[in-house]
Amino acid sequence: MKAYVKQNAGPGASLLDIPVPVPGEGEVLIKVKAAAICGTDIHIHDWNAWAQGAVKNLPLVMGHEFSGEVVELGPRVKKLKKGDYVSGETHIPCGNCYQCLNGLQHICANLLLPGVHRNGCFAEYIAYPEMCSVKIPESIAPEYGAVMEPLGVGVNAILEGNVGGANIAVVGCGPIGIGMISVADALGAAKIFALDISEYRLNLAGTCGAKHLINPTKSDPVQAIREVTGSVGVDAFFDASGNPEAIVQAFKFLRKGGHAHLVGLPSKPVSLDLVADVIFKEATVHGYHGRKMFQTWTAMMNLMDSGKVNLKPIVSHTMPLSSADEAFSLIRGGNVSKVVLLP
């Protein structure tokens, strides 16, 4: 089969012919219909400091966001059958640690990730655990099935945020931020503020339900949000940027008693004024690492199947797997949301 493989330590990857994997015990073989490129894949492709610490075994088939069809069953597969249409829950838990035994599999102490710790999905086929192969409705097109993994991170945060009737801000309008805006709009958020330094991404946010679009390089978000909310601030903000300065600023326009939901991954420590922005405000801070297994998936499938969530702005480009090099270059060039590879 064709696969996009990280062969050696250093920048880049290669399209190679490698054997089709054989599903092991409790695994299924999935014919990949679509695979999306994530920021994690960019890190591994660039071979930055994070990738050098996280990826221990090369060569490695890259990629972790996918949808596809089950074509073969390994030993002791109990529920899935050939022909099932699935998306991949990328947090592969051990099943035995404290978190797994207490309903927190998504933050397992021994978590494995495809495309990081084991071969991933930038290939024609992937062998994958049955328990993490989530059967999804046929109404969800493969390119959207492939982005359910990143969408689910935002859905988890929005569901925990109880956004119905609330004034919220989404900081960072990449694919996860865009997904959060679309889901928040579907669930009845009152005022949705979208913040990004890219006009391209702000325009996407507007098509997903954000009525207040703020470019921090052109106007002061704190002042703009306070003007619209009667000097109160937002009930909650959801950070999908990972930008330390943007996170600090978001705490300034969060109202007293508000909730901060942190999804983005800062590249350096964030220095907060805990007294003014958390303690005296009685702010509540939430962190998110993936989707709940599998409550988030159920809610996400229901929303997507109903057509209430606008997914079109999330996927901006589809390209053949053979054009993976071009796809990574396209992402670095900007004016792009999510790029999906089609094996």
pLDDT at 310: 83
pLDDT at 33: 98
Class of domain 154-287: alpha beta
Q: How many CB atoms lie within 10 A of CB 160?
A: 16
Per-residue model confidence as pLDDT tens digits over 273-299: 999 999 999 999 999 999 999 999 999
Measured in degrees and rounded to the nearest 5, phi and psi for residue 176 equal: -70, -45
Q: Poorest-confidence range of 47-51, 129-133, 252-256?
A: 47-51
Averaged pLDDT for residues 237-265? 97
CATH 3.90.180.10 domain residues, the chain: 2-147+314-342
* C-alpha closest to that of 262 among 232, 285, 292, 236: 285
Is the pLDDT at 246 greater than 90, yes or no? yes
Q: What is the pTM of this model?
A: 0.93
CATH 3.40.50.720 domain residues, the chain: 154-287
Mean pLDDT score across all residues of the chain: 96
Tell me the three-class secondary structure of 68-119, residue by residue: EEEEEECCCCCCCCCCCEEEECCCECCCCCHHHHCCCHHHCCCCECECCCEC
Torsional sign, CA 110, 154, 173, 306:
positive
Tell me the three-class secondary structure of 255-304, residue by residue: EEEEEEEECCCCCCCCCCCHHHHHHCCCCEEEECCCCCCCHHHHHHHHHH
Q: Annotated catalytic, 298?
A: no
Q: Annotated catalytic, 43?
A: yes
Confidence of residue 333 (pLDDT cuts 50, 70, 90): confident
Per-residue model confidence as pLDDT tens digits over 115-157: 999 999 999 999 999 999 999 999 999 999 999 999 999 999 9
What pairing do the DSSP bridges indicate for beta strands 2-6 and 14-17?
A: antiparallel
Per-residue model confidence as pLDDT tens digits over 181-200: 999 999 999 999 999 999 99
2-147+314-342 has which fold?
A: Quinone Oxidoreductase; Chain A, domain 1 (3.90.180)
